[in-house]
Amino acid sequence: MSGPERRTIHMSHYQGGSLKDKLDQGDQVFKTVEDFVNCYVDDTSKRRPIKKMLVATNGIAAVRCILSVRKLLMQLFRNDRIIKFICLTTEQEIRSNAGKIIV
């Protein structure tokens, strides 16, 4: 059984259509972020998997961002906690025990 097919996509040359059509992954699931990066990045000097993401805003926009990324992580890795989110918040939000902080 051979490994997944490698594709290089140059976004500067991409014109029109749906990006989803270009990145057709089917039911491919990766065990780690490193496996995903190794599959899609040909240049070894540019292989840097994302392990942490800083969300430097608060409120509904931050919650939507985190939920969208987690949805993508579930599709690719079947694990939405594979990337750690670091969120900035204010003392007022912590004191108010806002529900959005717990996301």
| pLDDT tens per residue across span 49-66 | 999 999 987 778 888 899
**Is 103 contained in some domain?**
no
Residue 103 has pLDDT above 60, yes or no: no
Q: Which of 77, 78, 83, 80 is nearest to 35 (CA)?
A: 77
* pTM of the predicted protein model: 0.62
- Count of domains in the chain? 1
* Positive or negative torsion for Cα 41, 63, 84, 3: negative
Asked whether residue 38 is domain-assigned, the answer is: yes
Token pair 């430097």 is found at 56
* Domain around 32: 28-92
| Within-domain flag for 43 | yes
Percent pLDDT > 90 in the chain is 28
Residue 42 sits in a domain whose CATH number is 3.40.50.20
Is 34 within the bounds of a domain?
A: yes
Q: Which of 27, 89, 86, 75 is nearest to 51 (CA)?
A: 86
Average pLDDT, the chain: 77
> What distance in Å separates the CA atoms of residue 84 and residue 82, rounded to the nearest whole number?
7
- 60 domain-assigned: yes
Report yes or no on 44 lying in a domain: yes
In a domain, 101, yes or no: no
